[in-house]
Structure 1
Amino acid sequence: MQAASVVPRSPIAFLAVALAFAINMMGTTLPTAIYRYYQLKFGFTPTVITVIYASYAVGVLGALLLIGNWSDQLGRRRMLLAGLCASAASALAFLLSSGLALLILGRLLSGVSAGIFTGTATVAVIELAPPAWRGKAMLAATASNMLGLGCGPLLSGFLVERFPWPMQLPYAVHLALVGAAALAVSGVPETVAIPARVKFGIQKIALPAEVRPVFIPAALAGFAGFVVVGFFAAVAPQLIRVVLGFHNGIVTGSIVFLLFACSALGQIVQTFIAARWRQAAGCIGLVVGLVCVGLCVPAHSLGALLLGTALAGIGQGISLRAGLGEIASVAPAHRRAEVTSSFFVVLYVAISLPVIGLGIAVQHADIQRATLLFVGLTIVLVLIALFLLMRGQTNQRYNGEVIGD
């Protein structure tokens, strides 16, 4: 097996893995425009819909913790193919579903595929980048992730509006795309030397004392950002239908796509912001975006929702990229994987438990009150993160002045 240092880094292999990354992540948000059909056919309550959605996080966390570091032992290519197999199995479960059990199984398998790809594909894209593209490799990986997440609702929204079989066709199309991605990935070179003796182990979760001052505000901001992601993927379609009166799946899919596209844009924008202000800028973007989302409820304004979606997406992207960078910079090199995994555990908890609570609120009140409650609580969370960020920077400056004296 070739070592990483002698792997030919061709543009074709790089693009093949980046495209496979996007296709795989597309499957995780594909059901967003289809949930209303499940409600109509099976009579599911809003709580059940959010439980189906949130079961995805269980699969992600399980994969991150149990097999998150297996690509170092088995190779990137094998694990990417395993992730695509899990994505294909998820599509089949949805395609054949006749009730709640297979829908939850489909979401779990979708989460497993995302958990495998989150780490493995990110590293593979960076390792396969041609020398001239190395500076943009991380951006290409994160953009593939976010744009793939955004394309899922866009694809399913288009298919359910323009073609028959709304609960089957999107998954059949995605299954074909996964097959094409698997063929592409099978031809890319391996980027790691597989050890003679394979050693598997559970990914450790740890938070060294020196990391905590940076980790806590970054995790709070990241948590709030992923709560927003969960809201748009699971609950926003009902808000768009009930409050704004738009029943077209293409409209719903486009609005959710806007969030993820702006998140990718935010990850680009953050490079133009001074490092010390990046997380604060992300928090401010989230707060202003959430205020606009809240205003769309009493005003019944699509414009307010679109503006709020764009600003929240940009803020989420800035916070995510800046938070990861800050945490990686202060974490000890030999414990960086543990600390990063801890950060992702926080993020994926954020797209499960709060969204289930929101589904319960929708069921017992209404979508308008539940949305306003969501906006208010999430803004409070972001403001706490912003306060901790500012206090931490003030302490750092004070300590620096004291040492300088």
Structure 2
Amino acid sequence: MGITAAMVAILVAAGAPTPLLPIYEKEWGFAPWMLTLAFGVYALALLVAILVIGSLSDHVGRRPLMIGALALELAAMLVFLFSTSIGWLIVARIVQGVATGAASSSLSAAVVELAAERRKKLGALMTGLAPLAGLGIGALFAGVLAQYVDDPAFVVWLVLAIVMALGTVFTLLTPETVSRKKGALVALIPRVSLPKQVHGLFAASVPGIVAAFFTMALFLGLVPIVLAGTFAVVHPIVGALAAFLTFGVGTLVSAATTGLRPPRLRVFGAAALTIGAVLFIGAVGGHALALVWVSAVFGGAGLGAAFAGTTRGLVPEVAPHHRAGLFAAIYLVAYLSMGASAIVAGLFVGPVGITTVAVAFGIVTALVSLAAVVVTAGHTARRTKSAH
């Protein structure tokens, strides 16, 4: 339970900047595109960490990597706490991305390994739900404090720094679950590998992964700026609630659809992502704030279903020793999509305005999501036909 709490805490910290970044923008007066840069570099740093040290815990043990990740996360919280400029915020986000990437594999593996035998499946389910739940809770936690506390950023980062310090101490007392083995240096060489038997399925899953993480970038990185710039919403809790709703719905859908076949789940997810993106376009284009909430529901449902359907469909198709390479490939597509899209969108905010950027982002997301529906349905039909 303690390791699960540590994993959720790291992801809560990842969602916390969403309602705080617009406050920093107002106080420090930097350009809006710097907000999306701060968001984008986090995703790219996380991706690099996953690719480089994602499998290191298999060689050096779970405990050392967990301790290192939590200590690095604590360092990121302290940089946030004492930041005086957007440059330091970007540094903090990079450190946070590395820490989150380092923690993702070791903490997830430790949760399952430390669980009692009868609770192994529950442990695996919790590791799958923790990312979405943590991001949503983090945004809501920071948003509530931003609404009702005089110096919300200081309180948020102080609380999270204390949590990370306690998590580090707790992890020091956690037993090791795997024995050390040779090959730690070799494990640092990034490996993105796909067994031949899943090439077609992975290719068919790519549009859904991209659409899901475009949606994640939208509600974590762009929506707070859209609410302020297009709808003149001054309360940070509104953006936090939009993110919380998105990831809360995603968590519930992922948990409630364990009985659905992965192909059907991917089609459902892509369709929901399409509807959510279209509703977001309508919300911004028609200046209808209520539609933002509806788009968050559909976007969250699509995010949860699409990613769950992707992992549940691909993982059983490969041998255990190929799964690290498989997840590296999935995360490469996912976080590259999220980070790059946020940075590119931010570069256009100044020249064309946030409303135009938001509509364009929604259109691209809708088109990719619609492509995911077509590609997934077509691939499923071909596999069904060949099986008969």
TM norm. shorter chain > 0.5: yes
The share of aligned pairs that are identical, in percent, is 23
Taking the aligned partners of 1:125 and 1:197, their CA distance within structure 2 comes to 24
User: Is residue 59–residue 182 contact of structure 2 (8 Å, CA) maintained in 1?
Assistant: no
Instruction: Find the counterpart in structure 2 of residue 186 from structure 1.
Output: 172
What per-residue deviation string (whole Å, max 9, x for no partner) do you get for residues 61-91 of structure 1?
Answer: 2211221111112211221111111111111
Instruction: Find the counterpart in structure 1 of residue 237 from structure 2.
Output: 250
**Structure 1 counterpart of 2:82, which letter?**
L
User: Is residue 139–residue 267 contact of structure 1 (8 Å, CA) maintained in 2?
Assistant: no
Q: What pairs with 1:33-48 in structure 2 (closer than 5 Å)? A: 33-48=19-34
Unmatched segments (≥5 aa) in structure 1: 1-14
Instruction: Find the counterpart in structure 2 of residue 376 from structure 1.
Output: 363
What is the deviation of 1:267? 1.0
**Structure 1 counterpart of 2:265, which letter?**
R
Instruction: Find the counterpart in structure 2 of residue 239 from structure 1.
Output: 226
Instruction: Find the counterpart in structure 1 of residue 190 from structure 2.
Output: 203
User: Is residue 73–residue 200 contact of structure 1 (8 Å, CA) maintained in 2?
Assistant: no
1:112 partnered with 2:98: yes
Instruction: Find the counterpart in structure 1 of residue 387 from structure 2.
Output: 400
What per-residue deviation string (whole Å, max 9, x for no partner) do you get for residues 142-165 of structure 1?
Answer: 222221111222121122222222
1:327 partnered with 2:320: no
**Structure 1 counterpart of 2:314, which letter?**
I
User: Is residue 54–residue 101 contact of structure 2 (8 Å, CA) maintained in 1?
Assistant: yes
Instruction: Find the counterpart in structure 1 of residue 205 from structure 2.
Output: 218
Taking the aligned partners of 1:25 and 1:271, their CA distance within structure 2 comes to 23
Taking the aligned partners of 1:36 and 1:168, their CA distance within structure 2 comes to 15
Taking the aligned partners of 1:303 and 1:101, their CA distance within structure 2 comes to 35
Moved more, 312-321 or 53-62: 53-62
C-alpha distance 196-329 of structure 1, shift in aligned 2 (>3 A): closer
Q: Which secondary structure does the structure 1 equivalent of 2:161 belong to?
A: helix
User: Is residue 327–residue 340 contact of structure 1 (8 Å, CA) maintained in 2?
Assistant: no
User: Is residue 63–residue 176 contact of structure 2 (8 Å, CA) maintained in 1?
Assistant: yes
**Structure 2 counterpart of 1:214, which letter?**
L
User: Is residue 70–residue 200 contact of structure 1 (8 Å, CA) maintained in 2?
Assistant: no
What is the deviation of 1:332? 4.2
User: Is residue 61–residue 179 contact of structure 2 (8 Å, CA) maintained in 1?
Assistant: yes
Instruction: Find the counterpart in structure 2 of residue 7 from structure 1.
Output: none
Taking the aligned partners of 1:358 and 1:180, their CA distance within structure 2 comes to 37
Instruction: Find the counterpart in structure 2 of residue 10 from structure 1.
Output: none
User: Is residue 73–residue 199 contact of structure 1 (8 Å, CA) maintained in 2?
Assistant: no
What is the deviation of 1:309? 0.5
1:77 partnered with 2:40: no
Q: Which secondary structure does the structure 2 equivalent of 1:345 belong to?
A: helix
User: Is residue 284–residue 355 contact of structure 2 (8 Å, CA) maintained in 1?
Assistant: yes
Moved more, 308-317 or 140-149: 140-149
Taking the aligned partners of 1:185 and 1:292, their CA distance within structure 2 comes to 44
What is the deviation of 1:24? 0.8
Q: What pairs with 1:41-80 in structure 2 (closer than 5 Å)? A: 41-80=27-66
Question: How well do the aligned residues superpose, as a CA RMSD in angstroms?
Answer: 1.8
Q: Which secondary structure does the structure 1 equivalent of 2:309 belong to?
A: helix
Instruction: Find the counterpart in structure 1 of residue 274 from structure 2.
Output: 287
Taking the aligned partners of 1:361 and 1:196, their CA distance within structure 2 comes to 48
Instruction: Find the counterpart in structure 1 of residue 116 from structure 2.
Output: 130
Moved over 6 A (4+): none
Instruction: Find the counterpart in structure 1 of residue 298 from structure 2.
Output: 311
1:177 partnered with 2:197: no
What is the deviation of 1:308? 1.1
Taking the aligned partners of 2:212 and 2:182, their CA distance within structure 1 comes to 42
User: Is residue 270–residue 322 contact of structure 1 (8 Å, CA) maintained in 2?
Assistant: no
Taking the aligned partners of 2:184 and 2:127, their CA distance within structure 1 comes to 27
Taking the aligned partners of 2:232 and 2:273, their CA distance within structure 1 comes to 25
**Structure 1 counterpart of 2:81, which letter?**
L
**Structure 2 counterpart of 1:232, which letter?**
F
User: Is residue 191–residue 325 contact of structure 2 (8 Å, CA) maintained in 1?
Assistant: yes
What is the deviation of 1:226? 0.8
1:357 partnered with 2:344: yes
What is the deviation of 1:230? 0.9
Instruction: Find the counterpart in structure 2 of residue 270 from structure 1.
Output: 257
Taking the aligned partners of 1:234 and 1:336, their CA distance within structure 2 comes to 30
Unmatched segments (≥5 aa) in structure 2: none
Taking the aligned partners of 1:398 and 1:36, their CA distance within structure 2 comes to 51
Instruction: Find the counterpart in structure 1 of residue 131 from structure 2.
Output: 145
